[in-house]
Amino acid sequence: MSAFNRFACVGLALLIPAVTAAQPVNLPQTRITAVFPPGAQQGTTVDVTVTGGSDLDEVSELLFSHPGLKAAQKLDGAGNPVGNTFTVSVDAAVRPGLYDLRVRGLFGISNPRIFRVDSLPEVAEDDANNTRDAAKPLVRNTIINARSNGGSDVDMYQIDAKAGETIVFRTEAARLDSLMQPLLQLFDQNGRRVGESRRVLNRDAAIVYRSQTDQNLLLKVHDIVFGGGNEFVYRLCADNRPLVDYVMPPLISTQRPTEVTLFGRHIPDGEPTGETLDGVPVFRKAATISADEYQSAAVGADSVATSLNTLLYSGIDGNLICLARYDGGPVPSPPLSADAAGTETSAALSVSLPAEVSGQFEALNDEDIVRFDAKKGQIWQMNVLSQRLGAPSNPVMVVEKINRAE
């Protein structure tokens, strides 16, 4: 053996223990990826099963982030525990919203999953609904907990509509941190498609339809890429509750009531705006948001990021509205709006710091300019909240120094 080969062998022998020592130790850790059903009605009791996860040995407890949600191990007729299944009781005082659910097992407490509490009765999907002839009745004001099983799985529902009636078909999947990307398609009695909607980032799919005649409608739901599994859960409801798409300003005080304007595709007694969303007219209505009608947005796997300066408002039945929170006192009335500013520096909105400014990208290439004075040595922090409020936008913020001599 040459001196080079002997050196190479010794070097390899010395390196192997070091590389082995650097390998991470993958200890077991209780993890959950899905539960079913993913929600329940206020004041009811429901059996919840952990349907996805890893290292689920000896799972013995279901834990919630609200004291009004309690769980007990489900037992069979012989008094033996039913694997990974718990009986969950929801107190009537629990506010509609999103709550963390965790399990405790042999390998510790798991990561959180989202559990939805709402005000309407709930049922589980009947899986035998994959064709038009097998479409299951969609009962008004009843939430269906469902999931996509993958492959060619399509869920079909039917509902009778009256002439002049407005029906809101709404889903929740993004809210549940679900992998499901629902595509909704609505067909009239002649088989003509009269509505379509899909999930866009954090905005869940919803269809608002006003029937012109008495007829039987067919609703088709499936994952947009036909994915499926226990992690592809969704909630579906047909009702006439308001559908609020956004609020202006998207900023409220946590100290006192805040005057806002609601914008949405179905707002009873709302005023037409002349705008449309997904081809449906948008209406607006003034409202007052009380400081006590909200919950923290600190739920789910992304709770640390999404809860920064935001909250979930649940004061409008059927809606969970993500808003920016302002703890420093009353929101300026009227709030400073960047939409009033022009796109030239000379027409910029001038503000005095500190300030909270609301804005909206109203058209393509829209940009808002805000101008302020800063003194030498001062340090100011500037944040833009948009995706954290559920908006399908990707803002860019640029700070420039203005040379007054130019």
Torsion sign across C-alpha atoms 143, 290, 392, 285: positive
What gap in Å lies between CA 341 and CA 358, rounded to an integer? Answer: 11
In angstroms, what CA-CA distances link 34 with 37, 51, 148, 199?
9, 5, 13, 19
How is residue 211 written in tokens? 């029937």
Query: How many of the other CB atoms lie within 10 Å of CB of 26?
Result: 6
Predicted TM-score (pTM) of this structure: 0.84
Cα angle 69-72-74, degrees, rounded to a multiple of 5: 130
Question: Count of CB atoms within 10 A of residue 202's CB?
Answer: 15
Q: Which residues contact 196 (CB under 8 A, 6 or more apart)?
A: 183, 184, 185, 186, 207
175 to each of 116, 320, 322, how far by Cα in Å?
A: 9, 9, 11
Chain Cα centroid distance, residue 63 = 21
How many Cα atoms sit within 13 Å of 242 on the Cβ side? 21
Q: What is the DSSP string of 131-200?
A: SSTTPEE--TT-EEEEEEESTT--EEEEEEE-TT-EEEEEEESGGGT-S--EEEEEE-TTS-EEEEEE-B
CA 350 to chain centroid, in Å, comes to 34
The string of DSSP letters for 89-124 reads EE-TTSPSEEEEEEEEETTEE---EEEEEESS-EEE
From first to last of the 406 residues of the chain, give the pLDDT tens digit.
554 444 344 443 444 454 555 566 678 999 999 999 999 999 999 999 999 999 999 999 999 999 999 999 999 999 999 999 999 999 999 999 999 999 999 999 999 999 999 999 999 999 889 999 999 999 999 999 999 997 789 999 999 999 999 999 999 999 999 999 999 999 999 999 999 999 988 889 999 999 999 999 999 999 999 999 999 999 999 999 999 999 988 888 878 888 899 999 999 999 999 999 888 999 999 999 886 766 655 565 555 444 557 788 888 989 988 888 877 655 554 455 555 555 555 467 888 888 778 888 878 888 888 888 888 899 988 888 887 787 888 889 999 888 766 5
DSSP annotation of 370: E
Domains of the chain and CATH, by start: 31-117 (2.60.40.10), 122-239 (2.60.120.380), 243-326 (2.60.40)
In DSSP notation, 228-271 reads EEEEEEEEEEEE-S-EEEEEES-EEESSS-EEEEEEEEE-TTPE
Rounded distance between C-alpha atoms, residue 203 and residue 171, angstroms: 10
